[in-house]
Amino acid sequence: MPDCLFCKIINGEIPSDKVYEDEIIFAFKDINPKAPVHLLIIPKKHYPTLNDIPDDEMGIIAEIHNVIKKLAHEFGVAESGYRVLTNVNREGGQVVFHVHYHLIGGRQLPT
Ligand code: AMP
Ligand code: ZN
């Protein structure tokens, strides 16, 4: 998607601090971290929001969570704890309209 920030990050047009990549998933450090560990995990395929993923393509969400689990170990927060979240549309707090999951940890998060 030409005007999408995260598509540009995936294709290298915009630099990022990459932490993981495979054929279908890309992950990088959030530019404005809310905690010592703040990673963004995204599908390479452009879907604006979770609502836009067809039922028969929802397997990508399991793949994303599998990468999140691996990254949580790699970044040392698997045992201490971490938060996984995705914001959907405006009132959900979504700012970048390319599906992404936040992995946040490394400090006590509010309940
Ligand atoms: P959301 O509010 O869920 O759409 O989150 C978008 C996230 O993208 C925010 O946490 C931003 O800090 C992050 N972000 C925006 N631009 C960049 C960028 N160029 N590189 C890394 N993270 C970014
Ligand atoms: Zn995109």
For residue 111, being part of any structural domain is answered with no
Predicted confidence at residue 111, as pLDDT, reads 95
Query: Splitting the chain (111 residues) into consecutive groups of 10 residues, what average pLDDT does each group show?
Result: 96 98 98 98 98 98 98 98 98 98 98 95
Domain limits for position 72 = 5-105
| Contact by Cβ (8 Å): 72, 60 | no
Predicted confidence at residue 27, as pLDDT, reads 99
Q: Which pTM does this prediction carry?
A: 0.98
Pocket test for ligand 1, best of 30, 64, 83, 103 (most atoms within 8 A of CB): 30
For residue 110, being part of any structural domain is answered with no
Interatomic CA distance for residues 44 and 72, integer angstroms:
20
Q: Is the beta carbon of 16 within 6 A of some atom in ligand 1?
A: yes
What CATH number does residue 84 fall under?
3.30.428.10
Predicted confidence at residue 1, as pLDDT, reads 85
What is the number of domains present in the chain?
1
For residue 16, being part of any structural domain is answered with yes
Buried/exposed 8-44: b ≥16 CB within 10 Å, e otherwise: bbbeeeeebeebeeeeebbbbebeeeebebbbbbbbb
Which are the contacts of 91, defined by CB distance < 8 A and separation ≥ 6?
A: none
Ligand nearest to the CA of 10: 2
Predicted confidence at residue 69, as pLDDT, reads 98
